Amino acid sequence: MGLVRYIGRRLLFVAPQLLGIIMVSFFLVKLIPGDPAVLMMGPNASQQALDELREKLGLTLPLPQQFLHYIVNVVHGDLGTSWQTTRPVLDDLMDRFPATLELVTLALLVALLIGIPLGIVAAGRSRGPIRKLADVYGLLAGAIPDFWLALVFIYIFYSTLHIAPAPLGRLDLEVVAPPIVTGSMLLDSLIAGDFDALWSSASHLMLPVMTLGLVNAGPILKMTQSTVERTLSSDFIRYAEMCGLPKRTVMRQAVRASLPSIITIVSVLYGFLIGGAVLVEIVFSWGGAGQYAVQGVLNADLNPVLGFVLFSAVFSLVVYLFVDLLYFVLDPRTRG
């Protein structure tokens, strides 16, 4: 009952939120110096040709009007075209966004598998080897840049040990990609029953996923540890101790009460990684959405940039909505 109404109210705000995000990013992107027309036509183009192109691209119109055009197009599902790929941005992103999403999602799972258990165990004790490990890990993960770790992994596992495949995209060159259903190589291979593709995509995912996972386990570890520690010193845990509940039960209650905070940091991290994985994408020639957007920025190809912002925003909004639903399930006080 309350839930349905709550979701309804949330969805009501999605459209204005998106509009705001597009507006801010549109005008910020327009501030980037560089003339698309010049970049598109090359240095030898005539002034007349440039003017015609500008006219055609709508660049001569005042900014608010350009923005209005853009919005109208977006509403009709047209994110414009990229002059670099000469394809519609929507098509490009439909190819690339899933690649990033697959990478980031798996990396996040790895980070959770490392960070949460280690954080919980470390919170339960004030000394000992596990606590040391957690402290050192948190420090290292915070200090090591992900692209550097990626290069180290490539050197060890590809160049030296020859275990990993070459860091060039999502599949071996000789493997034919499975038909696209979900956009995730792993899932699509499974659906197609194509085990060559499955193996190839899994081995290509290995290093970038480990890189991002290991680095991002750091903040999750730290956040889990401090939240659980704080909960362990709270009134109701002290009361649970006074009631003689077994240590395991007390710990479980503390973790349960810490979940909302942990979920919050994880969701923020998830949204951040969509763009934040770009350096790792570049190192592994991943062909993901972040890479696409950065290319756009560097070449004054604005439609991909705006398209990427829009996709990320929608993604973050979906994640946050999901998080709110989780709160709703986890904390009875939010159900009032």
Partner 1 sequence: MADFQPATETAPLLRVEHLRVSYQSFESAAVPALRDIDLTIAPGEMVGLVGESGAGKTTLARSIMGLVPRPGRIDSGRIEFRGQVMAELPDEERRAILGRHLAMVIPNPRSELNPVLTVGQQISNVVRAHSKLGAAEARQTALRMLEAVRIPDPGRRLNAYPHELSGGMAQRVVIAVALACEPSFVISDDATSGLDVTVQAQVLELLQDMVRSRGASALFITRDIAITAHFCDRIAIIYAGEIVEIADTAAFFDRPAHPYSIMLLAAFSHSGDLRRRWTRTEIAVNGSAAGCAFAPRCVRRQPRCEAEHPALRTTHSGHAVRCHFPVEG
Kindly list the residues in this chain that would bind partner 1 in the complex (CB under 8 A): 235-236, 238-247, 249, 253, 256-257, 330-333, 336
Nearer to partner 1, 91 or 331 (CB): 331
Nearer to partner 1, 17 or 261 (CB): 261
Q: Residue 234 Cβ, how far from partner 1 at the closest point, in Å?
A: 8
Nearer to partner 1, 174 or 235 (CB): 235
- Which 3-state string (H, E, C) describes 116-176? HHHHHHHHCCCCCHHHHHHHHHHHHHHHCCHHHHHHHHHHHHHHHCCCCCCCCCCCCCCCC
Q: Residue 250 Cβ, how far from partner 1 at the closest point, in Å?
A: 9
Nearer to partner 1, 234 or 295 (CB): 234
Nearer to partner 1, 42 or 332 (CB): 332
Spell out a b/e string for 74-87, using b for 16 or more CB atoms within 10 Å of the CB, else e.
beeeebbbbbbbee
The token pair that represents 272 in the structure block: 């951040």
Residue type at 86? T
* CA 276 to each of CA 215, 230, 250, 328: distance values in angstroms, whole numbers, following the listed order: 12, 29, 37, 29
Q: Residue 323 Cβ, how far from partner 1 at the closest point, in Å?
A: 16
Nearer to partner 1, 111 or 257 (CB): 257
Please choose, from the candidates 169, 174, 171, the residue with its C-alpha nearest in 3D space to the C-alpha of residue 186. Answer: 171
Q: Residue 227 Cβ, how far from partner 1 at the closest point, in Å?
A: 14
Q: Residue 228 Cβ, how far from partner 1 at the closest point, in Å?
A: 14
- HSE, side-chain direction, 13 A CA sphere, residue 317: 19
Q: Residue 235 Cβ, how far from partner 1 at the closest point, in Å?
A: 4
